Structure 1
Amino acid sequence: MVVAVIADMVGSRRLPDRAAAQRVLDEAIDRVESARPLAIERLTPTVGDEQQGVYQDLGAALTSLMMVQLALPDGVGIRFGLGIGDVRSFDSSGGRLSDGPGWWAARAAIELVNERERGAIPSTRAWIVGGQGQDEVMPATISAANAYLLLRDELIGAMSDRERRLTYGRLMGSSQTELAAQEGITQPAVSKALRRSGANALLLGLDELTGAH
């Protein structure tokens, strides 16, 4: 059992320079994978604006995907559908293919993200669906993680570029003093930005979900 992820770019058809946005996304994924390689199969472009990747567990997926969100600048957003379940690979005349309940659940999850984004919760960027029995095996975990994702996406969506950089830095273990030097501001200004943006709650919530205490 792993976590399969299907991702796509927010509003890709409306972007003034789709190729430039894709380069920004690719660079963000490269940065995250270089800094903390948590993926079994890193997010890789497939068709159109879609990316697919595989993670060993929910904690690794939640951490890595949040890092990608935080690494993106204003104007470039990404949605994630996470499917918990088995995946299998096999050879075909067109090359190596991957299939299985994890992928089917990921597809259902990203469709739910699109539905919620177009509806009452436009900040929605990620959702988790359990594949073939996983909703029964770990319902509390999936429900708690989805509740966290709703609030996480709301907070990240309201952050400025600087607030996302600071949150990313804290997630990577940088001190407030180090971040202040990088941003050219004071340490108290960093502390205030982290409190005001909800970054501290965001990071503590991730620790609670992933057991990173």
Structure 2
Amino acid sequence: MSKMKELTSCAALLIDQVASRHTDRTQNHPRILAAIETINTKIPALDPLRVTVGDEIQAVYETLGDALRASHHIRANLFGEVELRFGIGLGDVEVIDAERGIQDGSAWWRARAAIEEIEQLAAEPGTAGLRTGIRDERSEANPLTVATARLVDTQLFRLRPGAREALRSLLAGLDNQTAAKLAGITPSANSQRIINNDLRTLAEAIETLGQLP
């Protein structure tokens, strides 16, 4: 737990499991903890990813880009194991109770509104793949951010397991030979997964979102 008391400009990230009541939470929990540990070592946070009440996970980041990077990387780490939904809110965060990890502030209100909105949208026909909600009311907010994040969601939703595995390796910066070995396939087969699913373009979009202020 960080020792921050109040931050006036940051990104709150709220994560929950999709259809968690219909999954084996006992089995999923250690997988989630392992993914959290991996992401926390890779992406600097003002308050690192941690499990809170029920099946929720939360963190606080300095920028929207860092919050999006964390969301995409934890999602990739759990491909095929746990399906996650994300809400990101930009604003202020105040620590109410540091010992118990209780926080408040406009960033959290917006993160909650964002995750509820994306859950509702995903229930509608034609938008089942949406997983990332963003509420950014800053004057410098880029109007293309939400649309781009939703396009990425849609593409991720359509990928088959093998293509998701190849994308995970791309995001991790692995070379083709190493990625193929981890997947148990030939380098040529891994290259075909990347080419046939336009994974380099998708990875570039994800990495670009991760650079947003």
| TM-score, structure 1 as length reference | 0.86
In 2, distance between residues paired with 1:77 and 1:51?
13
1:22 aligns with 2:29: yes
Measured after TM superposition, the shift of residue 211 of structure 1 is: 4.4
Q: Which segment is superposed worse, 82-91 or 160-169?
A: 160-169
Measured after TM superposition, the shift of residue 100 of structure 1 is: 0.8
1:88 aligns with 2:90: no
Residue aligning to 1:151: 151
Measured after TM superposition, the shift of residue 165 of structure 1 is: 2.5
Measured after TM superposition, the shift of residue 96 of structure 1 is: 4.6
Match of residue 55, structure 2, among 44, 49, 55: 49
SS in 2 for 1:177: helix
**Deviations for 1:47-70, whole angstroms, at most 9, x for unmatched residues?**
111111111111111112101111
Residue aligning to 1:138: 140
In 2, distance between residues paired with 1:50 and 1:148?
25
Residue aligning to 1:79: 85
Equivalent residues, number: 203
Q: Which amino acid aligns with 2:112?
A: R
In 2, distance between residues paired with 1:164 and 1:29?
19
Residue aligning to 2:116: 111
Quickly say closer, same or farther: Cα 1:172–1:105, change in 2 above 3 A: same
Instruction: Write the mapping of 1:155-166 to structure 2, written as runs, cut at 5 A.
Output: 155-166=155-166
Q: Is the 8 A contact 1:71 1:165 kept in 2?
A: no
Q: Is the 8 A contact 1:44 1:52 kept in 2?
A: yes
Q: Is the 8 A contact 2:67 2:210 kept in 1?
A: no
Q: Which has the higher helix share?
A: 1
> Where do 4+ consecutive residues of structure 1 move more than 6 Å?
none
Match of residue 39, structure 1, among 38, 45, 51: 45
Q: Is the 8 A contact 1:155 1:198 kept in 2?
A: no
**Deviations for 1:18-66, whole angstroms, at most 9, x for unmatched residues?**
21122222222222223x1332222212211111111111111111210
Measured after TM superposition, the shift of residue 127 of structure 1 is: 1.2
| TM-score, structure 2 as length reference | 0.86
Residue aligning to 2:200: 200
Q: Which amino acid aligns with 2:130?
A: T
In 2, distance between residues paired with 1:198 and 1:11?
29
Query: Which blocks of at least 5 consecutive residues in structure 2 are unaligned?
Result: 1-8
In 2, distance between residues paired with 1:198 and 1:10?
26
In 2, distance between residues paired with 1:57 and 1:197?
30
SS in 1 for 2:46: strand
Query: Which blocks of at least 5 consecutive residues in structure 1 are unaligned?
Result: none
Higher relative contact order (CA 8 A, sep 6+): 2
Q: Is the 8 A contact 1:9 1:79 kept in 2?
A: yes
Identity %: 29
**Deviations for 1:156-200, whole angstroms, at most 9, x for unmatched residues?**
222233322321221121111221232232222212111223321
Q: Is the 8 A contact 1:38 1:64 kept in 2?
A: no
Q: Which segment is superposed worse, 37-46 or 49-58?
A: 37-46
In 2, distance between residues paired with 1:91 and 1:21?
28
